[in-house]
Amino acid sequence: MNIAVDTLETPALTKAQLAEMLFEQIGLNKRESKDMIDAFFDLVAHSLVEGHDVKITGFGNFQIRTKAPRPGRNPRTGEPIPIEARRVVTFHASQKLKEQIQEQDDHASRLLP
């Protein structure tokens, strides 16, 4: 699966590109493809907001983590400021995804002179 990125920014896979791939590779119409991608990400986001981890076999885990309050510092003024407790999402790649990335990295390094 090749993903073309037409931008000068860091390459990113967008929801629109995912929908286009569903259209081209599976044969869903463009509206169904967009709706399916939107529904998938809405479901993932809703699960995370509710405090549930999301595990995608062969890809990785999205987990909610609660960070404790801590002292911080304004980098411009050096003034101490409190950083409140908050919930954050973390992602941990599966072993299978890590291996695929490593294989790609190993393959690329063999191509370099």
- The confidence score (pLDDT) of residue 106 equals 72
Query: Does the structure show a pLDDT above 90 at 7?
Result: no
Q: What is this structure's pTM?
A: 0.72
**Cα–Cα distance between 101 and 3 in angstroms, integer?**
16
The candidate with the shortest Cα–Cα distance to 67, out of 89, 47, 52, is: 89
* Domain 53-113 fold: HU Protein; Chain A (4.10.520)
In the chain, where are the structural domains located? 13-50, 53-113
Q: What is the pLDDT of residue 62?
A: 97
- The angle subtended at Cα 31 by Cα 25 and Cα 34, nearest 5°, is 70
- pLDDT band for 80, please (50, 70, 90 cuts): very high
13-50 classified as CATH 3.40.640.10: no
The DSSP code for 69 is: P
Per-residue pLDDT tens for 9-30? 678 999 999 999 999 998 889 9
| Cβ atoms of residues 62 and 53 within 8 Å | yes
